[in-house]
Structure 1
Amino acid sequence: MNALPAATESPPRTLVAQPLTPDAFAPFGDVIEAGDAVRQFPINGGNTTRYHDLAKIDPGPDGHAIVSIFRGEPRALPFPIEMMERHPLGSQAFVPMSGREYLVVVAPAGDPPSPEDLRVFIARGDQGVNYARGVWHHPLLALDTVCDFVVIDRAGNGHNCDEVMLAETVLIDLDR
């Protein structure tokens, strides 16, 4: 009797994080950074530069913007991505307070994402992100140490968090 070959499982897909830039992130929302902000001007007698209107905060109909602090535990790499979430009623912004790099995993708004839809960015400690309404994203991914983030998002009536499990696990790694 001939034995059948053992079924082999293919290794999980691995995505390497790319640098977070406004152009690369534009399909998913806004990068919040001083950098080359289009609208910047001096205020307070010239002692301060205001980098103006950096993100389109969208609390959606019947919502209002709230400010919270999220404290993220560090994630070990490579990190498995098994689920994604979205906020269909409003945007959600994350601004790091700890000055540390962190990961941003996104997929376009619309149908639940497949592993092929995922994009991974490494954000510098001086860059925030604002996920546009409905954009799929992974929850907070701090690296190396506990990190605090100011989070600006929506409060109000209605269900504003959808979660989906991915059809297959995707590994995230860095090319440091």
Structure 2
Amino acid sequence: MTFILKPQPLTAEAFAPFGDVVEAGTTTPIMINGGNTERYDSLVKVQTENPQDTAVINIFRAQPRMVEADADQSSMRIEMMERHPRGSQSFHPLSGEPYLVLVADAVEDLKPENLHLFLAQADQGINYHMNTWHHPVLGLNKVCDFLVVDRKGEGNNCEEFYFSQDELIEIRL
């Protein structure tokens, strides 16, 4: 059986069970720099399991993952999901491109029905809450860079879940 995922728009309300949408204009800014700059302050909280953990900033360079299925649509097979039990993880696009965000309900034995797909715009970042199942970054049209705020500390912070080969899960655009 094939399970088809189609993206819905990324909104703070729809994404709330999985994390935060990070974008300007969602809160009242604080004016700084002599009134020349709007500061949208404390949009998300970096979560870490242990007080000695630190937040680090990285750049991830994502290759486009969608393949042309036919003249009218692109597709991608979903085989795995991951989560970070010891800290949150936040992605902020740097390349001016939309991208996909695939997350899952908070269950241990993932099924295709647990998946939720969002289309993020080029000006929207996302912050996965600690322990949220998600697919690795999904660039669409070209190689895309993301500024990533991540947890660094002792212990493994990445768990992977692989779907059964009998479960054909596809993203279609």
Q: What is the TM-score normalised by the length of structure 1?
A: 0.89
- The corresponding residue for 1:68 is 58
CA-CA distance at 1:39 after TM superposition:
3.9
CA-CA distance at 1:110 after TM superposition:
3.8
- The corresponding residue for 1:106 is 103
- The corresponding residue for 1:130 is 127
Determine which of 152, 157, 160 is the counterpart of 1:155. 152
- 1:27 to 2:17 alignment: yes
Distance 2:107 2:155 in 1: 18
Bigger Rg, which one: 1
CA-CA distance at 1:115 after TM superposition:
0.7
- Measured against aligned partners, the alpha-carbon deviations of 1:99-151 in whole angstroms (never above 9, x if no partner) come to 10000000123413211100000000000000000000000100010000000
Determine which of 114, 117, 120 is the counterpart of 1:120. 117
- What is the aligned length? 163
Determine which of 41, 65, 68 is the counterpart of 1:52. 41
After TM superposition, which residue ranges in structure 1, 4 or more long, deviate above 6 angstroms?
none
Distance 2:5 2:134 in 1: 15
- 1:16 to 2:6 alignment: yes
CA-CA distance at 1:70 after TM superposition:
0.1
Distance 1:151 1:95 in 2: 6
Give secondary structure in 2 for the equivalent of 1:95: strand
Distance 1:110 1:150 in 2: 28
Most deviating of 95-104 and 105-114: 105-114
Distance 2:110 2:138 in 1: 18
Distance 1:169 1:56 in 2: 35
- Measured against aligned partners, the alpha-carbon deviations of 1:16-43 in whole angstroms (never above 9, x if no partner) come to 00000000000000001003x2241211
CA-CA distance at 1:166 after TM superposition:
1.4
CA-CA distance at 1:59 after TM superposition:
2.2
Give secondary structure in 2 for the equivalent of 1:23: helix
Most deviating of 75-84 and 25-34: 75-84
- 1:93 to 2:90 alignment: yes
CA-CA distance at 1:169 after TM superposition:
2.8
Root mean square deviation of aligned Cα: 1.1
Work out the percentage of aligned pairs sharing the same amino acid: 52
CA-CA distance at 1:15 after TM superposition:
1.0
- Measured against aligned partners, the alpha-carbon deviations of 1:143-162 in whole angstroms (never above 9, x if no partner) come to 01000000001110011000
Give secondary structure in 1 for the equivalent of 2:163: strand
Structure 1 gaps, min length 5? 1-9
Q: What is the TM-score normalised by the length of structure 2?
A: 0.91
Structure 2 gaps, min length 5? 67-73
